Structures are given as C-alpha cells and as structure tokens.
C-alpha cells in the first residue's frame, strides 16, 4: 500500500493539501469480493485516505414488469453518495457484470476504474485477485495508462417524454418474449431513410460490446479504438438483413412495428418493456468508461486469452503423402 506522505508531497507540489480519495465498488453477492472490499477500506483508511464504498447493485436499474414499470432514473442519478470527480480512482471487485454496472455509476464523474476479476470470464477486468497488491502499488506510483471506452445513451420515449434511460457500455437488445417470436422494426440511422428489418430481435453494439452478445449473434469483432457502432439483427428473416457497421456519430431511432410489447435490455442487467407506440433512441454518450491499464492495451492478446481467437490449429493437414 502506498504511503500517504507520497501523495501529500504530490498535492503540496501544486500548492494545496487535500486528503486523497478512493472508491470501492464490489459485487456484494460474492463473499470474496465482500472480504476484499472490507480489507481494502481498512488499509486505505489507515493511510489517511478518504474511502467511499458502494455495491455494484446500485448501477443495475432492474427489469420492469407489466404491473410494475420502471420509473425514470436519470443517467446521472446512479452515482453513489460520496463519489465525485475529486476521486483518484475506484477499485471495482467482481466480474464483467459488476464492471458494466460500475461504469454506469462512475462514468458521469469521469473516475478511472481499476477492475479486478473475482468472477469467471473477466473480459473487461485488468487484474486478478492475487495481483491486486502489486496493481494498487503501480497505480499509486502513477505507472499506468487510461483507456477510454465509448458508451451509449439509451432512451425510451413515450408520448415525446423520456420514460426510461441508461448508459450502455456493451449493447442494447430489443426483442419479443419469447425470444423465438419474429418481430418487425423500423430503424433510422442518422439522416438516412428508415429501413424495415424482420428478425427475432435487434442489437446495437459498441466496439466494447462487439465481443459479447453481438459476437454470438454473428456480428463483427470491432477493435476498441474504432469510432463505430454495429447494428446486428438476431436471426433475421431475410438474407439481406446482415450486420451493419456505421459511424458512432450517427444516432439511431428504433420504432417497433408490432401489436404487442417488446423487451429491451441494456448490458444484460437493466431493461424495460417497450410498447408499440414507444420509440427507442440511441446516441453516443458524452460520458465514457475510463479503464486503468497497467500495461499497454493489447486487444488481440485479450481475444486470444479469453476467446481463443487466432490460436494455432491443433491438427493440421499432413504434408506427407499417405499411400
């Protein structure tokens, strides 16, 4: 753990003294994340840091039901008490779901996230639990980079008023219940003419989300630094309806053309019902997820390690002729 005196000198260098502040967001359903959060809070407090702790569940907006619609929670309304732009960084303890949730909680404040995997895949995490002490020390020394990941602002309009909204790091998915039922969508991208797509559902994905649900639905893998979005139909009813990549500066308007309601989910852990008269509006957010990187980001390495992309084939055709 870095000594508080080191930070004191840094603050005095700029002519003022302030108590450094750190945040901890953890998955309270995982015992290991709970215990590490308690331990970290104690250690930082002993070093005279101002510590704010919150559960990642605060970034999960939940799901609506026909009897209990989700109330409108502004995007900026999910920031936990005490979390603000003065915070040096936040340590996120959990899996990818916790990272997605935490990004909605801290992105409006621009707080960098040191993400620590206590889950399974950990595609979005930077370090493992056994690397945490060294990782914190490296961050304290300022030996890290910040990687900006673009986010989407997803809004549901009902009678020209915002009924529901959320920040999105991975993807927005719109489909019917059950998922195997086909539905129609009128989709307008930017100022282009609207198109009609018949499919089981629609995915609008960021580059970060291109390796998530979008990939499973046949969408392209997009490197994080590319300023595009992907529109991916789920099981389309036409050979002409394929994934489309377009500039992220183009907003998207989706009108469901169905007699029954649809279901919308954002990042897999927040959503609401969409009625036939509703409109889903998606645009690139002014906020971004800021990830602390302890080494230079190497996207292809992560693809290899997590998804097995580009690994050599175990069995190759033999060059020896067999009689």
Contact 64, 94 (CB under 8 A): no
Q: Is 211 labelled as part of a ligand binding site?
A: yes
Contact 90, 24 (CB under 8 A): yes
Please say if 96 is a catalytic residue.
yes
Q: Is 96 labelled as part of a ligand binding site?
A: yes
Q: Is 48 labelled as part of a ligand binding site?
A: no
* Residue 304 backbone dihedrals phi, psi, to 5 degrees: -70, -45
Q: Is 40 labelled as part of a ligand binding site?
A: no
Q: Is 260 labelled as part of a ligand binding site?
A: no
Q: What is the 3-state secondary structure (H, E, C) of 271-302?
A: EEEECCCCEEEEEEEEEEEEEEECCCCCHHHH
Note the residue count of the chain. 323
Q: Which residues contact 72 (CB under 8 A, 6 or more apart)?
A: 162, 163, 164, 165
Q: Is 58 labelled as part of a ligand binding site?
A: no
Report the alpha-carbon distance of residue 156 to residue 281 in Å, rounded.
6
Q: Is 244 labelled as part of a ligand binding site?
A: no
Q: Which position among 96, 145, 196, 248 bears the catalytic label?
A: 96
Pick the closest to residue 291 from 142, 152, 156, 91 (CA basis): 91
| 43-57 b/e (C-beta count within 10 Å ≥ 16 → b) | ebeebebbbbbbbbe
Q: Is 84 labelled as part of a ligand binding site?
A: no
Q: Is 238 labelled as part of a ligand binding site?
A: no
Q: Is 216 labelled as part of a ligand binding site?
A: yes
Q: Is 230 labelled as part of a ligand binding site?
A: no
Report the alpha-carbon distance of residue 21 to residue 81 in Å, rounded.
13
Q: Is 210 labelled as part of a ligand binding site?
A: no
| Sequence ranges of the binding site for NAD(+) | 96-97, 170-171, 200, 211-216, 269
| Sequence ranges of the binding site | 96-97, 170-171, 200, 211-216, 269
Query: Which residues does the annotation mark as catalytic?
Result: 96
């Amino acid at each position: 753990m870095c000594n508080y005196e080191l930070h004191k000198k840094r603050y005095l260098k700029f002519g003022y003294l302030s108590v450094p502040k750190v945040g901890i967001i953890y998955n309270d359903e995982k015992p290991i994340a709970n215990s590490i959060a308690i331990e970290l809070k104690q250690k930082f407090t002993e070093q005279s840091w101002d510590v704010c702790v919150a559960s990642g569940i605060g970034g999960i907006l939940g799901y609506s039901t026909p009897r209990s619609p989700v109330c409108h929670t502004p995007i900026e309304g999910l920031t936990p008490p005490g979390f603000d732009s003065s915070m040096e960084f936040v340590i996120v303890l959990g899996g990818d779901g916790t990272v997605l949730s935490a990004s909605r909680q801290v992105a409006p404040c621009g707080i960098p996230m040191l993400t620590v995997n206590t889950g399974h895949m950990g595609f979005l995490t930077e370090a493992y639990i056994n690397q945490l002490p060294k990782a914190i020390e490296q961050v304290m020394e300022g030996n890290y980079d910040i990687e900006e990941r673009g986010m989407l602002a997803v809004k549901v309009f009902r009678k020209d008023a915002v009924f529901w909204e959320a920040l999105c790091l991975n993807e927005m998915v719109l489909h019917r219940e059950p998922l195997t039922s086909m539905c129609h969508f009128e989709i307008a991208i930017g100022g282009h003419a609207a198109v009609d797509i018949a499919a089981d559902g629609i995915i609008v994905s960021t580059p970060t989300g291109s390796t998530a649900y979008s990939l499973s639905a046949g969408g392209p893998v997009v490197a994080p630094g590319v300023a595009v979005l992907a529109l991916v139909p789920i099981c389309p009813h036409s050979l002409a309806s394929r994934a489309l990549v377009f500039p992220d500066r183009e907003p998207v308007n989706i009108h469901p053309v169905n007699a029954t309601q649809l279901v919308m989910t954002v990042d897999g852990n927040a959503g609401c019902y969409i009625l036939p008269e509703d409109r889903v509006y998606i645009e690139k957010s002014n906020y971004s997820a800021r990830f602390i990187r302890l080494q230079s980001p190497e996207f292809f390495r992560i693809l290899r390690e997590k998804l097995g992309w580009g690994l050599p084939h175990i069995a190759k055709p033999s060059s020896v002729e067999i009689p």
